[in-house]
Structure 1
């Protein structure tokens, strides 16, 4: 009908407030949470990787220092002139041999071995037939030549080499343990009377285990020889007392959360092919990341709930009165001029409601006056017709 009040609504106030909440509060909280989780996750990963790198470097440096100490002790023994004189001498009786042996050789070898805690024993080998086997001396006979460390050393053709394998330290062949030895040959221009002369420095594996076990918080370490066999491992997991041969590294099972680090160890000539492998269990890091994500999500959810609740409380008086005002305007279209009865609040919406009530009363009064006037006109016409 022409002249009727037409109300065009593109959206209620509540919807617009929800729109503002979504774009001004909800989305910023979500974006900040994602940014925070990403930043903290990258920071935690970087910190963990740095800790792993430092741990790897500590273990590598410790093992290389232990090997260097063994090399130094072996060089001292190989270049000792009195040991060479002892090796090159000929002894008519066992008494003469042990008198010469105990007077110097045994003492000096013990002293060289005591230069470092990483050196367990120094043994010398020669093919002098007049020398007898002793604590620090062995005849270089067929039994020695059949041992794996000797074969590896001769096959290398080098003056010095680090060898590893499984040794039998006792006569009863009941306990076999891994060994790491530095084998040195006499220098050509210092060769004593043309005899074959070898110095074997056995490293103290317990000191090496102490080095790798000190980093067990970060790594499970495996020291691999040139054949990719495990010589020592964290916690002696793969070196039982019943060990018959070194275990292959390829047999180690790795979980999906395992991060593998490799680094070469020692000098290229002396320890060619040796590696220190570290297996880092990233499960703890992933667990910390999950806990951090959960905490951030819970905090973000709490912020959303609190901000949403606060917005509802703050806007409820506005939205509820706006709804009443909208309903009253719709009633006006139906020619119902009802008053809005709410608690008076001195704000813009309250002033608008007061103005609407005043307008509604005036329109209602005007409509009533018009109706009375029409009634009076009709009554006058009726009376006039009756008189006629």
Structure 2
């Protein structure tokens, strides 16, 4: 594969490529990599910190629950407590003595566990006194939320549940356990309730460094507690939906696999843009550093390359002036580097050209001027050739009309002839408008119509915007003349001459069509060959005259086409450049 060449690239673009490849791209990529590495490192560290925060919350929560479970386990196996609750007392005084003897020890141990707020014992023993932490299992207790929700599980292990507190909201956490370790003949139903401290959850979940929302979920995925201010967790039981988190959130989870906290979870939800706050705060610093690294090298490169670029542009400006025949010398100090030597060489060249221009260039101009004059003389000769030929045919028409019909209509013909003579003799104008040419054509066709009567019909269709286009003088009428005399006159029946002139994009299309005798193949090919013989006019003087004049005026910037078929007719198409000014 051929490698691209830099020799065709301008100096300014080369310097720009050097700057982009050697300065801009490396520095930009370096800062992008630095920014991404810093971002990833900070994000990883933040993720680790948040994960540790959630893990610490989980550990603290589990430790608090384990304290309550430890109390429940101690009392679950306390035989004296079973005896206290199952004994059938003969009097209230007897129960009070037994209660004080037992609770003196319990009241000393329970306060040692800070997560525990109170201990409540429920029993259906009718002989005990329902006071001082002992309550009766009645219909109101059996209909309570905590009683029904823990009935199936509290026989096997302690159950952590949430129940309504003093405010009527579900904001109180309790550990419920069925006391069925010992069975006697007089066994009664006994339930132990350990209420956790009211501010325990707030202390565990709010006094942390986790930047986001925390959720405590039970095994069924219901929110038991949350720091999300938009969720009033104490007003009911709301399911947790991960779909509520948008793509900007990151979720951390810690799951408990203990029997009494089966599949409970601590879920932390943090917004990713919060994790990136430290990176965002340092973004301006990185931006300023990048600008400094870009601006100073850029200014240095501009300073170093200005002596190259500015001086080369000055040389290029003077060299372009040479194209317009301006040979001014480059003024200024003469430097000794390569550009300075190039400047001196240009000055020597310009001085020599000024010296030789009078000897060579002026002579060449004189030669071209003579050639131009020769072309103009040839053009004048071609224009002069058409007059006798054309006037001969017109006068012959008048003569034949006068001989065949001795009518006053001849006056009309003579009027048209006079108009044509006035137009044809104005050769000082090389260019005429289409409407002027059409006026001459119309005069000629009226004369021919008088000559042939109904044998010849004609149509002229010209677009209004085409009438103001300039074309060479008498460049269409010779074809109309040929169509009438050599086309329609030679047939026995009637014939039609149709002239169409219209603008096609930025060109002028002129079509002259007749339904005359046409040309056979040999005659048609001979006509085409004759158009290439520029020196000898020979036959078809009118056609060749127009063709050569068009070549002199337009060069190759026009299209000329003739199609003809014997017995069908001839069509001439000319496509001029459209212009309204010479």
| TM-score, normalised via structure 2 length | 0.53
- Work out whether residues 126 and 140 of structure 1, in 8 Å CA contact, stay in contact via their aligned partners in 2: yes
Q: 2:178 maps to which residue?
A: 185
SS at match of 1:156: coil
Give the counterpart of 2:221 among 198, 221, 228. Answer: 228
**Partner deviation per Cα, 1:230-251 (whole Å, 9 max, x = no partner):** 22222776458xx553334349
Q: 2:477 maps to which residue?
A: none
Within a 5 Å distance, the mapping from 1:289-300 to structure 2 comes to: 296-297=286-287, 299-300=289-290
Q: 1:167 maps to which residue?
A: 164
- For 2:232 and 2:323, the matched residues in 1 are separated by 94
Quote how far apart the aligned CAs of 1:224 are: 1.9
Give the counterpart of 1:99 among 71, 78, 97. Answer: 97
Quote how far apart the aligned CAs of 1:10 are: 2.4
**Partner deviation per Cα, 1:202-226 (whole Å, 9 max, x = no partner):** 2224122211002364231121223
SS at match of 2:261: coil
Q: 2:261 maps to which residue?
A: 271
Distance 1:45 1:52, change over 3 A: same
Quote how far apart the aligned CAs of 1:161 are: 2.8
Give the counterpart of 1:356 among 320, 341, 345. Answer: 345
| TM-score, normalised via structure 1 length | 0.76
Q: 2:200 maps to which residue?
A: 207
Structure number, greater radius of gyration: 2
Quote how far apart the aligned CAs of 1:17 are: 1.0
- For 2:154 and 2:285, the matched residues in 1 are separated by 62
- Work out whether residues 123 and 136 of structure 1, in 8 Å CA contact, stay in contact via their aligned partners in 2: yes
- Work out whether residues 123 and 138 of structure 1, in 8 Å CA contact, stay in contact via their aligned partners in 2: yes
Quote how far apart the aligned CAs of 1:260 are: 3.1
2:304 pairs with 1:314: yes
Distance 1:73 1:141, change over 3 A: same
Distance 1:285 1:245, change over 3 A: closer
- For 1:130 and 1:366, the matched residues in 2 are separated by 138
Q: RMSD between aligned alpha carbons?
A: 3.6
Quote how far apart the aligned CAs of 1:53 are: 0.8
Quote how far apart the aligned CAs of 1:66 are: 0.8
SS at match of 2:121: strand
SS at match of 1:133: coil
- Work out whether residues 64 and 266 of structure 1, in 8 Å CA contact, stay in contact via their aligned partners in 2: no
Identify unmatched segments of 5+ residues in structure 2.
1-6, 360-582
Give the counterpart of 1:119 among 109, 116, 120. Answer: 116
- For 1:356 and 1:272, the matched residues in 2 are separated by 95
**Partner deviation per Cα, 1:5-54 (whole Å, 9 max, x = no partner):** xxxx7233222111211211122223223323322232232222212211
- Work out whether residues 13 and 319 of structure 1, in 8 Å CA contact, stay in contact via their aligned partners in 2: yes
Give the counterpart of 1:146 among 143, 148, 154. Answer: 143
SS at match of 2:300: helix
- For 2:232 and 2:325, the matched residues in 1 are separated by 98
**Partner deviation per Cα, 1:92-118 (whole Å, 9 max, x = no partner):** 22222223212332x333333223211
SS at match of 1:120: strand
Quote how far apart the aligned CAs of 1:305 are: 3.7
Q: 2:107 maps to which residue?
A: 110
Tell me whether 80-89 or 123-132 shows the greater mean CA deviation.
80-89
SS at match of 1:215: coil
Quote how far apart the aligned CAs of 1:175 are: 3.6
Q: 1:76 maps to which residue?
A: 74
- Work out whether residues 159 and 186 of structure 1, in 8 Å CA contact, stay in contact via their aligned partners in 2: no
SS at match of 1:270: helix
